[in-house]
Structure 1
Amino acid sequence: MRHILSLGLALCLAACAINSVASPPSVSQPKASVPEAKPAGQWSHGAMIAAANPLAVEAGLEILRAGGSAVDAAIAVQTALGLVEPQSSGIGGGAFMLHYDAKTGDVVAYDGREVAPAGANERLFLDEAGAPLPFWAAVKSGRSQGVPGAVAMLYLAWQEHGKLPWSRSFQPAIILARDGFPISPRLNSSVTQLKRITEPGDDVVSYLMDETATPLPVGTILKNAAYADTLSQIATQGPKAFYEGAIAADIVARSGQAPMPGTLSLADLKAYKPKRLEPICRTYHERKVCGMGPPSSGGIGVLATLGILENFDMAATDPREPLGWHRFIEAQRLAYADRDTYVADDRFVVVPIKGLLDATYLKSRAALISDTSSMKTVEPGEPPGSVKRGRDATGNVFGTTHFVIVDQSGDVVSMTTTVEGLFGSQRMVRGFFLNNQLTDFSFLNVDAKGEPIANAPAAGKKPRSSMAPTIVFDKDGHFELAVGSPGGNAIIAYVSKAIIGMLDWNLTPQEAVALPNMIARTIPVAVERSRANPKLIQSLEALGHTFRDGGGAEGSGLHAIRLTPQGLVGGADPRREGVARQP
């Protein structure tokens, strides 16, 4: 009965909108200090994994049942996703991970973002005349590959939090690759979407299409012996097998092939080092919300959106009515304008993180929001510590996934992982696809006014990301929920929506991730009309909003786990094929 009621509410949220009269905003002051995350103490809530494919979830659960940690399980989930969901992530790409240690209370951010080769420069995606390359030409070129970071990052996290031998977590994916797995509807759909830009001889064609260049049907058993062999080498030899030797040589050779060969070298791969960073954290109504800092903009974007909305009584609004959605849209616009302008790799540009998340500054941004009409234009603000920057010229991304793991000790992993485009650069090496992550850079270096763009390419620089793995702690500092999503720059909107749904609107994780997507990076707002009630849209239009169809360049893939008085409760985005399960 509880399941039926929850399902009914989710359907009602998508199908029932009640018009309301906008009321003046109520203002509350954000807390000045961020409460510390605390150890979990005696953990008695079991374990859970939420990810975008049941086979990957089962791979992780196998490791948990064997006594593995959340990080051990993350290795299994990632290597399995790289096989069954190769359009979204894999060992040829990069990742960001947030980890909570239930024994110590420590929250750590792991940066496995790809790095531009030493041979890259500001003209990376410009043609001979200085004009930006066509997007898909850049994606499929040899210039788009950054040094993959996922393997090295997972190894660093395993060294600090692994319980099982490194090799153990690779076994589920190795067996799955050798024995084969059924092609899922989403994998088949992704190949079909890509068919319009494929050519005979492309790796996607040879791997996932038949001799007539028709995508392999749903249910076809697909084996990948080359991937199994690659994983076996990494499992027995460690990351060195990937970043040096024959695998590395093949990565370099494939990136160096036409069209437009890249400059990726063996020295670039050997020099790659993942980073262990402090997360960025801020309060939201007495809770501590932690996310990923630069080179990702996701944490800043989510925290800024929440920080603006904290000046309103969002809990008094209703997800079936327009007021809460109106405020959410306006807060997004303001946060995106600042994110686009100021955030990039902070080793190369000054990123005013404290200024962007300052309570007084965000209150001034919130003051621009009216509950009776939409802003017609949005300009970036001038947060404390900022340097003038040009208007961004970065495109969107398509191929990413997110998963959440809570282990039997209460340790938590929230990890977003990507190859950037659908199947990355569509260049395959030893059973896996190489990323096209460098197209996350702005193709232009300066804007129309000649101002330098923060996210312009450079040698050794990491392209800005929007990935936003997030962990939330309650007012007493105890773990409450973990969430994240794929979706390119729409990730900020997706993750913020889910957090508001759970914390302000008291929805279950499943109900929160199923809410309609509305992305307000630009005007008009991208809206998921199939889930948004027409009356709700009409009410928002009456406030001055304009909409275009689409939930973003890539549909969300939100996955969340929340600790409730009844135990762990998970949510898997119905737009993908994921599940949330316990061992």
Structure 2
Amino acid sequence: MFRLKSLSAHLALSLPLLLALPVPAHAQRSSNEAAPEIATGYAAKAGKSAQKFMVAAANPLATEAGYQMLKQGGAAIDAAIATQLVLTLVEPQSSGIGGGAFLLYGDGKRVQSYDGRETAPAAADEHLFQDADGKPVSRETGVIGGRSVGAPGVLRMLEMAHKEHGRLPWKTLFAPAIKLAEDGFKVSPRLNGLLSWDRYLARDPVARAYFFDEQDKPRPVGYLLKNPELARTLREIAEGGADAFYQGRIASDIAAKVAGHPTNPGKLTVADIAGYRALERQPLCTDYKEWTVCGAPPPSSGGVAIAQMLGVLEIKDIAPHKPVDGQLTAQGIHLFSEAGRLAYADRDHYIADPDFVPLPGKGVAALVDKSYLAQRAALIGERSMGRAAYGVPDTLKLAWGADSAIDKPSTSHLVAVDAYGGALSMTTSVEDAFGARQMVDGFLLNNQLTDFSFDSRDADGPIANRVQAGKRPRSAMSPTLVFRKGTQELALAAGSPGGATIINYVAKVLVGTLDWQLDVQQAISLPNFGSRNGPTELEKGRIAPEVIEQLKARGHQIRESEFNSGLQGIQRRVVNGKAEWFGGADPRREGVVLGD
């Protein structure tokens, strides 16, 4: 029987600071959103060391669930499953069993990439997010309701990975989440802040009854929130495997909810849900200096974009431009942002579900080819290029249009290493904050289909990431594993939520640890910065004014915003001749690291 042990010993340093933070004034909605979720505070964290195993996730209760699985002799995948199930309950705005995920797994022998991305219904076509005149619908019309819901993928993916790498019984992994759902958990400041901010969730009667009181006010911080419907759902899946979700009662309830939306019904059917398949794809691994960096391949764009950024930054050598007294330098920001512009330009033009729009010739390999990246790096000068054009490797002469996806997924990330040489990095999402704002059987449904382009073609041709039946939308999720070159020795596992900015968040940690020799907590805590092929984006209030002026003098258009990452990372380091794990969690969210 699982017993949720006291968290006080583990969280004494970080949680009290975070609990004390009010929702700041900038939590009010803005038409210039920098992140899919509002920022709800910053609490400095010190990182944690361990010798045998470790897990880091975005909520203390979720981390504790994964930690208990590792203590029981579980593998990293066991910890990840228990963690994800608790995240479904305690961080419903970001991820859950109604969504999807990408997972990288290394066992000391090989690296595997698991694709649990949602799929479009069989009845969907490229006009799904267009009105009768063929024009894109509004963001609200696209997101809220049944239209945006894809077939969820996370449970099929986790079951696939568990069958290969799990050590504990499937049923055991559900015990923490079931107990918490039945006994209740205290509403966190972050969940309360997002409930106060969101104006759509209460439109769903089921969600309103659960998340709000009789006066339609959000459940307050500390309120004991119980979810017996989710406990029932998890029991059925614990007993019957993922089939209990993808067939029978739960699948029928999902399809009925999607079709029954009063103003914006969707096309997802029980057949679409039953037909969902998780996939194992070849991970995208490229060499960077003395390391091999592995990421998720398309339909994730994260692995490609990060490989491109690192390839450019290797040529331009960002290593000498490390922070000085904790402050980023203008040259470091300049090089990083220009590399980002180049990578995001290619990302928006080329990347989509490879099962529908495979790249010709050498495919993805052409985009990360060293000679091609040298050509791209040569475009970086002393002044900002402002907006980069996409490149054209020899084998990728394609007439494709420009993507118009919303691309603001609300996401979560977890990392784990076990005592058997296993390690994973997993990014998981329901897309927008609280997904499609549709609650069924105790969990929220995704709105992942809005990661497709709303436009289907333009003057340059059809858009690679347009909606098609059974297709997986492009993602920015970037789970990453780093190894010593030529070995399977793990150096770092990292990833983050944050919509399209995920790529810059993760690349920042890679540069911080691999080039600037920071520990992973220091690298996570660095100010967020970069460019998505638009303005140079800087975390508000954390870059020195003189650095900003230097960037402006180089032609950078500056945008300061609350860039609300949720990075988690675990690195291998040697202290006094002895190897250990060292983990870090983002001070911008509630996450913690636990390990022995």
Common fold: TM-score over 0.5: yes
What is residue 298 of structure 2 aligned with on the other side? 294
Partner deviation per Cα, 1:122-163 (whole Å, 9 max, x = no partner): 110011121111111211121101000000000000000011
* CA apart distance, 1:475: 2.9
* CA apart distance, 1:493: 0.6
- Paired residue secondary structure (1:143): coil
Letter in 2 for 1:120: A
Distance in 2, matches of 1:199 and 1:130, equals: 30
Correspondence list, 1:249-260, <5 A: 249-258=252-261, 259-260=263-264
Distance in 2, matches of 1:431 and 1:544, equals: 50
What is residue 159 of structure 1 aligned with on the other side? 163
Q: 1:344 aligns with which of 338, 352, 374?
A: 352
Q: What stretches of structure 1 of length at least 5 have no aligned partner?
A: 1-6, 8-43
Letter in 1 for 2:583: G
Question: Structure 1 residues 290 and 321, CA, compared in 2 at 3 Å: closer, same or farther?
Answer: same
What is residue 565 of structure 1 aligned with on the other side? 574
1:283 aligns with 2:287: yes
Distance in 2, matches of 1:201 and 1:262, equals: 15
* CA apart distance, 1:201: 4.5
Letter in 2 for 1:50: A
Q: 1:329 aligns with which of 334, 337, 353?
A: 337
Q: 2:86 aligns with which of 61, 80, 86?
A: 80
* CA apart distance, 1:326: 0.5
Query: What TM-score comes out, normalization by structure 1 length?
Result: 0.90
Deviates more, 1:518-527 or 1:81-90: 518-527
1:233 aligns with 2:232: no
Q: 1:92 aligns with which of 94, 98, 103?
A: 98
What is residue 41 of structure 1 aligned with on the other side? none
Partner deviation per Cα, 1:157-182 (whole Å, 9 max, x = no partner): 00000111110001001001100000
Distance in 2, matches of 1:73 and 1:376, equals: 43
Contact 1:203-1:426 within 8 A present in 2 as well: no
Q: 1:513 aligns with which of 512, 517, 524?
A: 524
Q: 2:483 aligns with which of 473, 485, 503?
A: 473
* CA apart distance, 1:450: 4.6
Q: 1:435 aligns with which of 432, 443, 446?
A: 446
Query: What TM-score comes out, normalization by structure 2 length?
Result: 0.88
What is residue 361 of structure 1 aligned with on the other side? 372
1:121 aligns with 2:125: yes
Distance in 1, matches of 2:212 and 2:191, equals: 12
Distance in 1, matches of 2:393 and 2:502, equals: 23
* CA apart distance, 1:524: 1.6
* CA apart distance, 1:426: 0.8
What is residue 419 of structure 2 aligned with on the other side? 408
Partner deviation per Cα, 1:423-443 (whole Å, 9 max, x = no partner): 110101100000000000000
Q: 2:61 aligns with which of 55, 59, 77?
A: 55
Distance in 1, matches of 2:268 and 2:342, equals: 37
Q: 1:464 aligns with which of 474, 477, 486?
A: 474
Contact 2:287-2:485 within 8 A present in 1 as well: no
Partner deviation per Cα, 1:516-558 (whole Å, 9 max, x = no partner): 1123113222221222222222221121111123245xx1111
Q: 2:134 aligns with which of 130, 137, 141?
A: 130
What is residue 176 of structure 1 aligned with on the other side? 180
Contact 2:103-2:427 within 8 A present in 1 as well: yes
* CA apart distance, 1:260: 2.2
Distance in 2, matches of 1:470 and 1:385, equals: 27
Question: Structure 1 residues 101 and 61, CA, compared in 2 at 3 Å: closer, same or farther?
Answer: same
Deviates more, 1:465-474 or 1:316-325: 316-325
Letter in 1 for 2:98: G
Contact 1:356-1:384 within 8 A present in 2 as well: no
Distance in 2, matches of 1:204 and 1:226, equals: 12
* CA apart distance, 1:578: 0.4
Contact 1:93-1:434 within 8 A present in 2 as well: yes
Question: Structure 1 residues 92 and 284, CA, compared in 2 at 3 Å: closer, same or farther?
Answer: same
1:492 aligns with 2:500: no
Distance in 2, matches of 1:155 and 1:198, equals: 30
Contact 2:535-2:556 within 8 A present in 1 as well: yes
What is residue 261 of structure 1 aligned with on the other side? 265
Contact 1:295-1:345 within 8 A present in 2 as well: yes
Distance in 2, matches of 1:194 and 1:418, equals: 17
Letter in 2 for 1:520: S
Contact 1:202-1:426 within 8 A present in 2 as well: no
Contact 2:345-2:388 within 8 A present in 1 as well: yes
Letter in 2 for 1:343: I
Letter in 2 for 1:265: T
Number of residues of Structure 1 aligned to a counterpart in Structure 2: 534
Partner deviation per Cα, 1:38-89 (whole Å, 9 max, x = no partner): xxxxxx9310111101100000011111111101111100000111000000
1:424 aligns with 2:428: no
* CA apart distance, 1:261: 1.3
What is residue 592 of structure 2 aligned with on the other side? 579
* CA apart distance, 1:214: 1.3
Distance in 2, matches of 1:111 and 1:313, equals: 33
- Paired residue secondary structure (2:311): helix
Contact 2:386-2:533 within 8 A present in 1 as well: no
Distance in 2, matches of 1:206 and 1:514, equals: 37
Runs of 4 or more, structure 1, over 6 Å off, are none
Contact 2:204-2:437 within 8 A present in 1 as well: no
Deviates more, 1:317-326 or 1:555-564: 317-326
Q: What stretches of structure 2 of length at least 5 have no aligned partner?
A: 1-12, 14-49
Letter in 2 for 1:339: R
* CA apart distance, 1:198: 4.7
Structure 1 vs Structure 2: percent identity of aligned residues?
Answer: 49
